[in-house]
Amino acid sequence: VTNGGKTTLAEKLKKLLPNCDIISQDDFFKPESEVETDERGFKLYDVLDALYMDEMVKSIRNWMKSPASSGIVTEELQNTCDNLKNTEDVYILIVEGFLLYNYEPLNELWNRRYFLTLPYEECKRRRSTRVYQPADTPGYFDGHVWPMYLRYKNELEENASNVVYLDGTKSQEELLSCVYSDILQELKKLRE
């Protein structure tokens, strides 16, 4: 969901996890001139066609081929993670974005899936506090953003498995604790 805390959570996790990097879907938006406009004049940013998804897949695959050369500083983080001993050769890539699970070529790459949700009113309130370039036009949230979120969330629920849904109204600390604990369990399984 837009403004659900995806980037904040990813950045906080990166600080806690050794050998961790982030790829953000926001870095793959097409320029405004290449984004379609509907009959109401809304720029259609909340659809897969507004993104260079093939480039994103390529970036993820390149990272997977050589995570150690991705510029991650490991020693300093490793020393702060006593409970993550023996993970020096485990690399973690957090991919954050709003349409990740609806793009089939990505679905074979995930080890874990987290999906932040927000109720309509809270999402709209948070969205109204953000400044976008280009700016949201009047009616954009109700006319495009929220309907696309519902559409893609419904698709996800029909087609994807092993998704952990997270309540975006919980505090940042609660969300971080939940996901961090889950990742620690996954790392423990890898070591065993």
Please indicate, yes or no, if residue 74 is contained in any of the structural domains: no
Please indicate, yes or no, if residue 117 is contained in any of the structural domains: yes
Please indicate, yes or no, if residue 85 is contained in any of the structural domains: no
Q: What is the pLDDT along the chain (192 residues), one digit of tens a residue?
A: 999 999 999 999 999 998 999 999 999 999 999 999 999 999 999 999 999 999 999 999 999 998 877 654 444 444 444 445 555 678 999 999 999 999 999 988 998 999 999 999 999 999 999 988 888 889 999 999 999 999 999 999 988 778 999 999 999 999 999 999 999 998 888 877
Domains held by the chain: number: 1
Please indicate, yes or no, if residue 72 is contained in any of the structural domains: no
* Segments forming the whole domain that contains residue 114: 6-66+90-190
Please indicate, yes or no, if residue 156 is contained in any of the structural domains: yes
Residue 190 one-letter amino acid: L
DSSP 20: E
**pLDDT for position 171:** 96
Q: How far is CA 51 from CA 13, 44, 115, 144, 183, in A?
A: 25, 10, 19, 16, 28
**pLDDT for position 70:** 63
Please indicate, yes or no, if residue 130 is contained in any of the structural domains: yes
CA 173, 176, 179 angle in degrees (round to 5)? 150
* CATH (domain of 120): 3.40.50.300
Spatial contact of 20 and 14, defined as CB atoms under 8 Å apart: yes
Please indicate, yes or no, if residue 75 is contained in any of the structural domains: no
**pLDDT for position 93:** 96
Query: Does 26 qualify as catalytic in the annotation?
Result: yes
**pLDDT for position 133:** 83
Please indicate, yes or no, if residue 83 is contained in any of the structural domains: no
Residues 33, 1: Cα–Cα separation, whole Å: 24
**pLDDT for position 73:** 44
Query: Which of these is catalytic: 21, 26, 54, 136?
Result: 26
